[in-house]
Amino acid sequence: MDISAAELKERIDKGESLHIIDVRNQLEFHTFNIGGTNIPLGKLTSTIEDLDFDSEDELILICAHGIRSKTAVQLLEQSGFTNVRNLKGGILSIKRLTN
């Protein structure tokens, strides 16, 4: 299931404690990010078992445009996570809201 940039920004602004996983590479993450844990998509498959989340925790996956994070959602769902959301339009959609 997707989450819109507006909904995510509203939840961040309210100070909600969110589990955000950013699957962009480290350079992209350090250039601009909204927090969360940076696990590049290429490393996600080898680290899924090490994630410190319950299978029913809401996990919000983000990347630049929403494509890599959509793949990450599928990987996590295949590994038993049941409440995984993809940021529609990626972090660029969040950036547009803040400009």
Q: Which domains does the chain have, with CATH numbers?
A: 2-98 (3.40.250.10)
User: How confident is the model over 20-68, as pLDDT tens digits?
Assistant: 999 999 999 999 999 999 999 999 989 998 999 999 999 999 999 999 9
User: Which residues are known catalytic residues?
Assistant: 63
**What CA–CA distance (Å, rounded) separates 41 from 63?**
9
The model's pTM is 0.94
Q: Which of 83, 55, 80, 85 is nearest to 70 (CA)?
A: 85
- Distances in Å between the Cα of 99 and the Cα atoms of 16, 91, 94 are 22, 13, 9
**What CA–CA distance (Å, rounded) separates 1 from 87?**
9
